[in-house]
């Protein structure tokens, strides 16, 4: 397993980690298999979405804020309940196929660390799984 860190810049930050994940895959001898991307945090997640138009990230952030506003009638006493809910909605991992030693992503797809309680330094774990 390989691990890298990401320094997020705002309370909400969809940070493109595609290059770092691709480097982790290219640093192995696996040509066919899958890549698991996992964040060990309860207020951050992982998603795959468009990486060509930055407006998509803004739209995702805005939609999540409308669905789960930061200030709400939450019971969690730390004041970051919305971050926990958003992270659970996005999920904490993503699986990407590997073929020819490279990630198999669509033309416009990228892998994102989704920060919901930043700015912080987050860990991203990458596990490359060979086909059996």
Per-residue pLDDT tens digits for 35-56: 999 999 999 999 999 999 999 9
Q: Which helix (H) or strand (E) holds 125?
A: strand 121-130
Q: For residue 95, give the nearest of 108, 85, 105, 83 by alpha carbon.
A: 105
- Residue range 58-73, pLDDT digits in tens: 999 999 999 999 998 9
Q: Which CATH architecture is the domain 2-130 placed in?
A: Sandwich (2.60)
The radius of gyration computed from the CA coordinates of the chain, to the nearest angstrom, equals: 15
Q: What is the mean pLDDT of residues 79-106?
A: 97
- pLDDT for 77 beyond 90: no
Torsion of CA 112, 114, 119, 121, to 10 degrees: -60
Residue 87: both structure tokens together: 């992270």
pLDDT at site 28 = 95
Indicate whether this model's pTM tops 0.75. Answer: yes
Q: For residue 25, give the nearest of 132, 108, 129 by alpha carbon.
A: 129
The domain locations on the chain are: 2-130
Residue 22: both structure tokens together: 């691709």
């Amino acid at each position: 397993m390989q691990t890298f860190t990401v320094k997020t810049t705002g309370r909400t930050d969809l940070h493109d980690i595609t290059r770092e994940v691709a480097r982790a895959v290219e640093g192995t001898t696996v040509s066919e298999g899958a890549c698991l991307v996992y964040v060990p945090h309860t207020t951050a997640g992982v998603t795959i979405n468009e990486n060509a138009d930055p407006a998509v990230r803004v739209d995702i952030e805005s939609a999540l804020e409308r669905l789960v506003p930061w200030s709400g009638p939450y019971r969690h006493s730390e004041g970051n309940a919305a971050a926990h809910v958003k992270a659970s909605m996005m999920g904490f991992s993503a699986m990407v196929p590997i073929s020819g030693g490279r990630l198999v992503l669509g033309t416009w797809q990228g892998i994102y660390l989704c920060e919901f309680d930043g700015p912080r330094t987050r860990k991203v774990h990458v596990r490359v799984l060979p086909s059996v």
